[in-house]
Structure 1
Amino acid sequence: MLLPQTLRLASAVVVLALLITHGDNGYCAAGSIAAPVLKWQLGGCTSWCETGWYSSPAVADLDKDGKPEVIGSGYAIHVLNGSDGSLKWRMKSGHDRNEGNAVDNVGRTWSGIVLADVDGDGEQEIVTAHSGGWVSVYDRQGYFKPGWPKKPTDRELRGLSVSDLDADGFMEIIVTAAVNSKTNSWIFQHDGTLRAGWPQLGSDGESAWGVFNDNAAVGDLDGDGFGEIVVPSDVHSICAYEEDGVQIPASADYSGKDWGAVGIWEDLATELRGWGRCNGVRSESFRANFAKGPAVIADMDGDGINEVVAVGNMYDCTSGYQSKYSAPLIFNADRSRFKTAGADWEKGPVDTGAPLSEDYNRIESNQPNTVVADLDGDGEKEILFPSYDGRLHAFWLDKTEHGSWPYEVDAHATEGFYRFASEPTVADLDNDGKAEVIFASWTQKGSNRTGRLHIVDDQGNRLQEVDLPAAKGSWDWNGALAAPTLANIDTDPDLEVVLNTAHAGLVAYDLPGTANARIIWGTGRGNYQRDGYVVSAKTSCKAGPVTLGPASYSGAEIYRSESTLVTSGSVVIQAGANISFEASSGLRLNRGFRVQDRGSFRARIRDVICPVDQ
């Protein structure tokens, strides 16, 4: 959500959690986090299961019967009853429910399922993107909205996100393609028309030649109240655009270049020079490829200014282009490297370790999806990502991994096969002020083994691990490539975790004792807009009356289980407090929660976002 500058400077924004009243093998450590309990499996399967790729599921009460549905996709889009995983309805990718099941899918689903009120009608839409170049917007019943679907390219759309870029109350739909071309990013209006200034070419100079993962981050990078689009790309570039397609200039240190024209090298001096010799000398030969490196926009150090975080594949350009390690980097809004007291990210990134394998005949591709979250509750954010070295990494701002991090997922020396991690989710499951990290793993092809559901603490210590269900049919491995989704999918107060597994369909686990959990990064790319944008928050803020009316709210984020209210006054409300508020008939909070009747409602303050002048 992007607030107008006047609201951000003059109003306090209170973020509320929507607590509205109207046979596995287990591996555990002592502690208060209970083991996950298998709730259901084989969701969306028939006599066979579609392969689940990197698409995170979503959860919403689509039919407004008070019971959540799970929406997931490998190829077709499946809508399941959250309580038991039974099928409510499905539609083939690139088609809607009017066409039934006799048609073929247009292709697989790589990016996460998007849920958002795209057209401002107060109802959530479902947005999906697929191979074959198709992007679709459906109403909550599975029928195409006017103007959809669209096909901007013949190649696979691996990136999908939505955002209200220009703060006009309508969402834009951003897609990126795995295409060997500088034309690889498109933005559509809510009605299916192409936005002015798009599609946009990547910058000249260092090539921006295709986007091979769900890479784009969309958020207010420069504090102007409007959205910017940051797109890491193959080969060496991170492109950055204003909402109208204008490329964002880089720091004057880069001699008048735009973001996307600056190649990324391990050595800063070589990067500033603009070229390396590729002669076998490390400082002249190590450079980063961002074909599969999603960006995140976040205020890393709590100073009110956003940075860009991304993980690149550092390789040797001398010959053979051998991969060396997964490289986390932080950039300022002007593309210069981030540096603050005790956090020098100007120097070359930390060498995290060589890949175990990049052989597609042996493993699926590891995607180093970046997650940004405050693990230890100190107010600064950490950087998490899975790597092809078989570990899940977590870096603090001091550029080191604390405690027991990185977490070793692979144990091929003892198990005899490779195991890799998915993008993680982050939540304070027991509400003790310290976050837990929840993620899945997947195994080597032909291993006849399965991945696991993992829960580790903020310091990287194992709390719980359970084996995922075995593959259905003749498949010889299983696991989950995609980030899990944390949500309450039934009528009890506890959270569940939903996984889109490779060969056992959609799977759900109960997480006992999590009724008061605090979700921090709850699904792939952080939220159901899939925008990779972390809205900063403080623990207390000046706030006053919480009586709502048409003039006193800025929007809501149902997809993050939060609402956002704008208030004024001088009362200090702490995070964790319970409040009541009045709502007038027909009030719509801008991301999908709608108050149909007048009445009193209760909510729990999750975070409080203060304006920058407090």
Structure 2
Amino acid sequence: MSARRPLAKPLRRCARALLRPAMVLAAALTTLPAIAVELSAGSVLPHDSASDVLPRAAAMADANGDGRSDVIFFNIHHTTAATEEQYLAYLYEQQADGTMRRAMRFSMIAGGVTRYGQPDGVAFGDLDGDGRAELVLPDAAHDHLVIFKRGVDRYDEVKRLALPFDFAFHQISIEDLDRDGIPEILYHHVSQGFAIYRGLGGLNYLPPMAVMSYVSNGFLIDDADGDGVRDLLVAINSVELNAKGFAINFGLAPRPGDFGRRRRGFFGLPAFSGMQQAYSIGVGQFAGDSKPEIVLLSRTEYPPDEHNTVRMPQTISVYRMDDPHHYTLLKRYEYRDVGAVMPAHLRVTDLDGDGRDEVYVFRSGQLEVIQQQGDGFAPVYLPQMPAGFAGSDPFLASTHFADFNGDGCRDVGYLANGYVIHYRQNCPSGVAMRKPAQPAMRVTPRIKPRRGVRLRR
């Protein structure tokens, strides 16, 4: 016994030395962000147009009254001739087995006459309460909104609503703003603001109410201050107005039928060493305490360094209301040098149901899923696209979260070259209707979040 004891300590030291790399690796792995949302590689609902087409707009709703999520999207063929094939619409309907099947392909040009505009975002939803979605587009002159109902193998025009603004259309949306069960139609003019048509039932509407706003590239309807009333939010990037940041119309409709109380507040980007440009806005919950926070997607351009290199990182900033209509910057996370490429659009939702939202960034046929990691964020999942796929930047209105295969979990869909769907793979229902997700990509944040910058109106 005594002869073997002197060997005990060296053996223990040797064992610890051998185990140390494994222990370090295990500790490192625990610092990587957990992947709670598993999404499949992109599945494309195709078009059959010529290759030189521009995917223009997409919308999601129940098109046939069966309670499932269906998709309609539009392609513009680059040609000067107004032919039937120049402006096409495609409707895909979800089947009982969870697959998506093309139900319609029709032209928006009748007899060589272009009667309807080519929008950045269309509205698709049930306006008259019959359970089937209507379609809303501008006309070619952009002086009316046109409502379409489903017909035989196409959607047919049934009503027109006069527009208060001239040409500069950007986005249309269908929202029940005053919570009376009758949806309103919102029309967004890129520089003059919004026209809101209050629904009276059926397809009847009051004359539009104008809500002024700043120059922006789309809007969001959400509860920005936690008072239970939805607000209107825009990301602003106006050089002419020297306004870069976000603006909110608080209390757009505090009571059913009441559109009277409106307060507008502009909140500028905090001053950093670089020039910033705001592109997209969202509302989420990241602290787990049910208080809403504002999420802003922007790009920062820093001055050249000693090597004459200019950094242009994409930035996600989170703001919190600390007292009525004053916001404090909680986190600022720069995670990708995008160079001259403009950021596209940001959406915020809790897809995995853990009580903390994820950030989804849509850009050029690519979806980035960004989750929280400690006090900051990290892009932890980049679903792969089909081989040879080339996409375009989807507009905010053409990005959706919905159950596209009937398994009870929401998936992610957006317009690119065709309509792309990333199916949720780890759905709690256990239904696996699509192939397994592609391996995730984990990226460690390079820049720590900055705190304590206060914004005032």
TM range (shorter): 0.5 to 0.7
- 1:493 Cα shift? 4.1
Q: Which of 19, 42, 46 matches 1:43?
A: 46
Assess, with a 3 A threshold, how the Cα gap between structure 1 residues 128 and 30 changes in structure 2: closer, same or farther. Answer: same
Q: Deviations over 1:62-102 (max 9, x none)?
A: 263x7643222345332114455553203334x7xxx6x97
SS of the equivalent of 2:362 reads strand
Assess, with a 3 A threshold, how the Cα gap between structure 1 residues 355 and 305 changes in structure 2: closer, same or farther. Answer: closer
Task: Please give the residue correspondences for 1:331-480 in structure 2 after superposition, counting only pairs within 5 Å.
Answer: 333=251, 349-351=269-271, 354-355=275-276, 368-389=279-300, 390-398=314-322, 399-402=327-330, 405-412=332-339, 418-429=341-352, 431-442=353-364, 451-458=365-372, 459-468=376-385, 478-480=392-394
Q: Deviations over 1:242-288 (max 9, x none)?
A: xxxxxxxxxxxxxxxxxxxxxxxxxxxxxxxxxxxxxxxxxxxxxxx
1:57 matched to 2:67? The reply is no
- 1:350 Cα shift? 2.3
Q: Which of 123, 127, 130 matches 1:113?
A: 123
Q: Deviations over 1:327-373 (max 9, x none)?
A: 134565566687xxxxxx9x8652475257xxxxxxxxx8x343212
Give the distance between the partners of 2:414 and 2:363, measured in 1 at CA. Answer: 11
- Asked if 2 retains the 8 angstrom alpha-carbon contact of 1:50 and 1:505, the reply is no
Task: Please give the residue correspondences for 1:324-335 in structure 2 after superposition, counting only pairs within 5 Å.
Answer: 326-329=244-247, 333=251
- 1:438 Cα shift? 2.0
Assess, with a 3 A threshold, how the Cα gap between structure 1 residues 428 and 91 changes in structure 2: closer, same or farther. Answer: same
Structure 2 gaps of 5+ residues are: 1-31, 77-87, 252-260, 301-313, 431-457
Q: Deviations over 1:570-599 (max 9, x none)?
A: xxxxxxxxxxxxxxxxxxxxxxxxxxxxxx
Give the distance between the partners of 1:505 and 1:432, measured in 2 at CA. Answer: 31
Give the aligned residue type for 1:386: L
The count of aligned residue pairs is 350
Assess, with a 3 A threshold, how the Cα gap between structure 1 residues 471 and 105 changes in structure 2: closer, same or farther. Answer: farther
Give the aligned residue type for 2:62: A
Give the distance between the partners of 1:166 and 1:322, measured in 2 at CA. Answer: 31
What is the CA RMSD across the aligned residues, in angstroms?
4.2
- Asked if 1 retains the 8 angstrom alpha-carbon contact of 2:269 and 2:276, the reply is no
Give the distance between the partners of 1:92 and 1:303, measured in 2 at CA. Answer: 44
- Asked if 2 retains the 8 angstrom alpha-carbon contact of 1:296 and 1:370, the reply is no
SS of the equivalent of 1:391 reads strand
Give the distance between the partners of 1:145 and 1:421, measured in 2 at CA. Answer: 32
Give the aligned residue type for 1:432: D
Assess, with a 3 A threshold, how the Cα gap between structure 1 residues 304 and 326 changes in structure 2: closer, same or farther. Answer: same
Give the distance between the partners of 1:510 and 1:306, measured in 2 at CA. Answer: 29
If each structure's strand is expressed as a fraction of its own residues, which one has the higher value?
Answer: 2
1:78 aligned residue: 90
Q: Which of 195, 202, 213 matches 1:232?
A: 213
Structure 1 gaps of 5+ residues are: 1-28, 203-229, 234-289, 316-320, 339-344, 357-365, 443-450, 518-614
Q: Deviations over 1:505-531 (max 9, x none)?
A: 2111122113479xxxxxxxxxxxxxx
Give the distance between the partners of 2:68 and 2:268, measured in 1 at CA. Answer: 50
Q: Which of 294, 297, 303 matches 2:219?
A: 294
Assess, with a 3 A threshold, how the Cα gap between structure 1 residues 125 and 47 changes in structure 2: closer, same or farther. Answer: same
1:500 matched to 2:415? The reply is yes
1:31 aligned residue: 34
Give the distance between the partners of 1:185 and 1:146, measured in 2 at CA. Answer: 21
2:159 aligned residue: 148
- Asked if 2 retains the 8 angstrom alpha-carbon contact of 1:396 and 1:402, the reply is yes
What is the TM-score normalised by the length of structure 1? 0.48
2:450 aligned residue: none
- Asked if 2 retains the 8 angstrom alpha-carbon contact of 1:411 and 1:418, the reply is yes
Assess, with a 3 A threshold, how the Cα gap between structure 1 residues 309 and 102 changes in structure 2: closer, same or farther. Answer: closer
Give the distance between the partners of 1:470 and 1:57, measured in 2 at CA. Answer: 25
